[in-house]
Amino acid sequence: MPTQRDFYEVLGVEKSASADEIKKAYKKLALKNHPDRNPGDEEAIERFKEAAAAYEVLSDDDKRARYDRFGHAGVNGGGFGGGAGHGDVQDIFEAFSDIFSGFGFSGGTGRRGGRRGGPARGADVRVAVTLDFRSAALGCEREVSINRKKSCTRCSGSGCEPGTSPTQCDYCGGQGQVVQAQGFFRVQTTCPACRGAGHIIRHKCNTCYGSGREDHRVTLNVKIPAGVDSGVQLCLQGEGEAGPNNGPNGDLYVDITVKDHPVFRREGMHLLCRVPITYTQAALGTKIEIPLLEGRDELDIPAGTPPGEVFRLRGKGIPDPRDPRGRKGDLHVEIELIVPKKLSEEHEGLLRKLAEVEKTQVTPHQKTWYEKLKDLFKGEAEEAQ
């Protein structure tokens, strides 16, 4: 009789491991060595059963206590390790259905258990749409063209040439699965002849060659809700590929990208923009025209407005696509002071007079090259007299 390995060593955990650590280690080993992932690999199946035997003991507080005290002698005589009770891999599936459920493995109570080859949901399709800022904010419609598979028009999705029908698979007797004996263990695997369908198409459709689907290009009109932003993904249910064996269609996902705006910047549902004004407008007050997503508006700038002041226009921002009432954010207008880099003589003179009134120290006037040249000619003329 072969020597049994230490159960903690089998799962690769310490003797002080918690129940969650033991379960996690077993799940990792079971999925790695699962018969569906390792067809025909007897060593993988042995590792699969060995891990199940270790988990059966170490996941039970009483059995684990006996094992820690007496070793294998304290737990032999039943379970996966003792050769009684659970005789094959199918029993392991049933005993640990909570471990394998949802992973699509055959056998036991997994999501795909039983015969395969029935109607299946079609694949999803993705397409990218780029929008300008205004269209995304206000909502729009766009046409998208996609390639997708549809049910074959010639065979109506059966895969058979019209006038013929599938025949039962002789290899598995129509079950879609076969049982392979390995010693006194039995492993249930997908039928290699019909690939789990349970039937064979001997006269394949001349259009789809037995797949039941054909390629098709279609143009769809997509309604873009107001307020979408980059990274938003729209879902058009049922507009994906047709499912195999006349299964339901998948979905179409539309990935949205929004271009930047030359004036507006977005923060959530709010809009921000900077409006430049002159010193005199800021000091004396003014009324300026500002752009909106739709049209224009006037904004009163009171006298003495400092640069950086922000005015809020309620409800002039972007609508919330999640709000059924379509409530909008606000428009925040930040005042930016314009400082001219070049001044005319008159402009400079007035500003210097203003500096005198304000008793503000400013940089002395710097003569231009032409002024310097003019002074040079004037000096030479005076010397010649």
Annotated domain spans of the chain:
7-100, 119-153+213-260, 265-337, 345-384
DSSP 73: G
Q: Please name the residue that has the structure tokens 């002039």.
A: 316
Fold of domain 119-153+213-260: HSP40/DNAj peptide-binding domain (2.60.260)
pLDDT of amino acid 87: 44
Name which CATH class applies to 7-100: mainly alpha
Distances (CA, A) of 287 to 61, 114, 275, 281: 80, 76, 12, 9
3-state secondary structure of 57: helix
Q: Are 260 and 140 in contact (CB under 8 A)?
A: no
In angstroms, the CA 350 to CA 308 distance is 25
pLDDT of amino acid 83: 40
| List of residues 6+ apart from 92 with CB closer than 8 A | 48, 49, 52, 80, 86, 108
pLDDT of amino acid 99: 57
pLDDT of amino acid 190: 83
pLDDT of amino acid 33: 83
Cα angle at 69 between 66 and 74, to 5 degrees?
A: 45
Tokens standing for residue 168: 């039962």
Helical (H) or strand (E) element with 135:
helix 133-138
Q: Give 10-residue mean pLDDT values along the chain (385 residues).
A: 79 91 89 75 84 88 86 66 45 55 45 53 93 94 94 92 92 84 68 85 92 92 94 93 89 95 93 92 91 91 93 93 86 92 82 79 64 61 62
Among 113, 118, 105, 111, CA closest to 244: 118
Q: If you write DSSP's letter for every residue of 298-339 in order, what string do you get?
A: EEEE-TTPPTT-EEEETT-S-B-TT-TT--B--EEEEEEE--
3-state secondary structure of 246: helix
In angstroms, the CA 56 to CA 379 distance is 111
Name which CATH class applies to 265-337: mainly beta
**Residue 106 buriedness (CB in 10 A; 0-12 / 13-18 / 19+):** buried
pLDDT of amino acid 153: 93
3-state secondary structure of 232: coil
265-337 and 119-153+213-260 share a CATH fold: yes
Tokens standing for residue 365: 């006037």
